[in-house]
Amino acid sequence: MVFLLVVALLAPAGLFAIETTGQPELIDRIVAVVDDNVILWSELNYRVRQELEQQGGGAYVDPRTVDGLRRKALDEMVNEQVLVLKAQKDSVQVDASEVEEMLNEQYRSLRSSMPDVEFQQMLARFSITERQLKARYRRDIRQRLLYRQMRSQVAYKLHITKRDIDSFIATYRDSLPPQVAISDINLRVRPSDEVLAAKRETIAGIQARLAAGESFADLARQFSEDRGSADQGGDLGCFDVGQLVPEFEAAALKLQPGEVSEPVLTKYGYHLIKLGEKREGGLCASHILVMAQPTASDREQVRARLQELRQRAGAGESFAQLARQYSDNPQLAARGGMWDVFARDNLPAMLAPHVRGLKLGQVSEPFFLEDGGHIVTFGNDPTTLESLIREIRTTQLTDQMISDYKRQIHIEQRLDDGFLHPPSDHAAGPVPEERGAVPAAQ
């Protein structure tokens, strides 16, 4: 995703690039004008790809679906730009230090995502310097913060009463509101104690051979069950902080370069981790993995525990309190299981089949995703409903503000213009890998 963002930010450097054949190659075009600002084809396709990834679709996407998403995304991008212009007109300020902090974080992620040679080639392709690239990142971040600040100002002025909450419950007793707050309890499916003990004994034997002087790389090739890295002597390469599973990352960050960890248990099994080097905001490491996989019996035990929690919530216990006490997702558990607020008609694709027909306050049947078993609810406790009502009213008032300001500025959409041929690659068809084909860069 980092490279796609770079393309979207770099595209204003020019509409055409010159191929080695000497023929002009279209790499971008303007799809909307909002006062003195433009929205580009590359920026629009980046938004569409984000939406496709969030929906969790397969490798092929129907072109008609993409066309609908593209038109919807362009309307959203125009509205966001209108609100940013309104914020600038109203002299709304954002914290410069926050802009710089986000800039530094994103830029570190960018630089660690590609070799220096590839990075320099990318800059040359778009005829831009590193300083100019940072300036465009800064502009994009500032606009996102302005948009957030305008919504925050609208939300701050709202006062939600108990009568509002009671009226909301009565209105949506048999249906869902335009937006819903989803809370989740997640239980990981773990191997049995007997399996873990056997795997721990195996990793301890490898650890003993390391202590006796055998090569980490040789032992990784011989014993590691991560075949993707075993052939490279366990080498995993380099990663930004936050990209690895938490237990692995926490252990690796405590090591000194060349040092090997004690056995570390993650959802994949037991690891011996060797730190290669620490970088600003990242690390390079190798590992030896002895996999510890749960069985069908382990999965059914989790299902039974989730069913018990569902029944307790249905009998009147607080879902939020149950999430704090039992959920294996520490971030959500700290928030009482609160995941996020979603539009009723745009729920995450992975959840949609499991919440169909669910009403406010009801709890889903247990279901399983990659990270374990789940039960979810559309929250209806007073605190959640107050936040939900505030979010709905904020959206309504923000939409009205955007509609009013649109009458004062020039807006033009050019998505259907045929005077330029669209780029040869687009968001329809097979969705490429993260660093694969990029519409604006082909």
Beta strands of 334-432 (E only): which ranges?
Answer: 338-343, 367-369, 372-378, 411-413, 429-430
Measured CA to CA, the distance from residue 247 to residue 163 in angstroms comes to: 46
What is the 3-class SS of 262-277, one letter each residue?
CCEEECCEEEEEEEEE
pLDDT of residue 418: 54
pLDDT at 121: 84
Q: What are phi and psi of 197, to 5 degrees?
A: -65, -40
Distances (CA, A) of 325 to 86, 187, 245: 44, 11, 22
Please state, in angstroms and as integers, the Cα–Cα distance from residue 334 to each residue in 327, 363, 409, following that order: 9, 19, 44
Q: What is the pTM of this model?
A: 0.62
What whole-number distance in Å separates Cα of residue 292 and Cα of residue 226?
A: 12
Neighbour count for residue 247 (Cβ, 10 Å): 14
Task: Characterise 100 by phi-psi region: left (phi > 0), alpha (psi -120 to 50), beta (else).
Answer: alpha
Q: Which domains does the chain have, with CATH numbers?
A: 2-158+391-441 (1.10.4030.10), 162-191+296-381 (3.10.50.40), 214-291 (3.10.50.40)
Phi and psi torsions of 414, nearest 5°:
-125, 30
Phi and psi, residue 249, nearest 5°: -65, -45
Picking from 243, 263, 269, the residue whose alpha carbon sits closest to that of residue 251 is 263
Q: Would you state the pLDDT for residue 346? A: 83
Q: Which two tokens stand for residue 241?
A: 């902080």
H helices of 231-291, in order, are: 246-253
Of 24, 4, 150, 177, nearest to 88 by C-alpha is 150
CB-hemisphere CA count at 13 Å for 257? 7
Name the residue type at position 7. V
Going by C-alpha positions, the residue among 317, 338, 347 that lies closest to residue 184 is 338
- For residue 146, CA distances in Å to 95, 97, 226 come to 10, 14, 45
Distances (CA, A) of 277 to 113, 257, 267: 16, 5, 24
Query: Are 47 and 9 a contacting pair, CB within 8 Å?
Result: no
Give the whole-angstrom CA distance, residue 392 versus residue 396.
6
> CA separation (Å) from 437 to 14, 52, 295?
19, 15, 39
Residue type, 240: D
CA dihedral 56, 358, 309, 270 (to 10 degrees): 0
pLDDT at 3: 37
What is the chain's length? 442
How far is residue 71 from each of residues 21, 47, 64, measured CA to CA in Å? 34, 11, 11
Q: What whole-number distance in Å separates Cα of residue 66 and Cα of residue 55?
A: 12
Rg (CA), the chain: 26
Per-residue pLDDT of the chain (442 residues; tens, 9 = 90+): 333 344 444 443 333 333 334 444 445 688 899 998 888 887 888 788 777 766 655 556 677 888 888 898 899 899 989 999 999 899 988 888 999 999 888 888 777 767 778 888 878 876 778 888 888 888 888 888 998 999 999 999 999 999 999 999 999 988 999 999 999 999 999 898 899 999 999 999 999 999 999 999 999 999 999 988 999 999 998 887 778 888 899 999 999 999 999 999 998 999 999 999 887 778 899 999 999 989 899 999 999 999 999 999 999 999 999 999 999 998 999 999 999 888 898 888 888 899 999 999 999 999 999 889 999 999 988 988 998 999 999 999 999 999 999 999 999 998 875 544 444 344 333 333 332 222 222 2
β-strand partners of 288:
272
Type of residue numbered 170? A
